[in-house]
Amino acid sequence: MSDPLRIRLDIAFDGTDWHGWQSGRSGRGVADELEAVLAGRFGSAPGLVSSSRTDAGVHARGLVAHFDVPAAECRMPVEKLAAVLNDSLPASIRVLAARRVATTFHARFGAVSKEYRYQVWNAPVMNPLLNRSAWHVPRSLDFHAMAEAAGMFIGTRDFRAFTSRRDGVLGSTMRTVSRCAVRKCGPLVTFGIEADGFLYKMCRAIVGTLVHVGSGRMDPEDVRMLLQSPVHRTPGMNAPAHGLTLWKVRYPRR
């Protein structure tokens, strides 16, 4: 019997109508839909291993997943697989690329960093074209205060104060953030956060906290104190899910 093929998929989706990457019992996860389409194409019904688990409503532009399939079942050039899968997927999910990779490649454990971007529309009236992908914050925000506070997240920190409780034991809360930046283009404010990994709802907690700083409800120095003496709670509020996009997953260069 020949060794199985490992295939990498680069995936984008609008998460508005989906219950996250893995949905649990609802069956409305992005992975559920993709695995159903794969089962229709490959008799072994391969399961997907993903780089990230996104929450309900969160989008992705660069999620990476892999699956293994017996070589005998792959009767087409792998490069054509994306188009074949997209023919059976809903318009809100797209496979951007498919390619064969070494069996040592692992979508989750091989990733060296993940980049998320969060959009805020900061104007009295919401841009209706961004209803599904940006958080409307009508009150004025202090951009410079947010940028100052954002820089405090960079480095290896204990992010216990920037995660939400979930079932199970909370493991290590140390993460290394390599970039946390705020960019403004007219009313559109974009937060970019890249790290070696993220705690549950960590991105949304950071953005919510920075918006608190921008609105004057917190001071940049409050952020420094929370990072130095973390507590088991989110200091600000979690920004809504629909403004968040998994932008890119990076792997070692070969």
Per annotation, catalytic residue among 10, 14, 32, 55: 55
Q: For this structure, is 17 an active site residue?
A: no
DSSP-based helix, strand, coil % in the chain, nearest 5: 30, 30, 45
Separation CA 18–CA 38 (nearest Å): 18
The residues assigned a catalytic role are 55
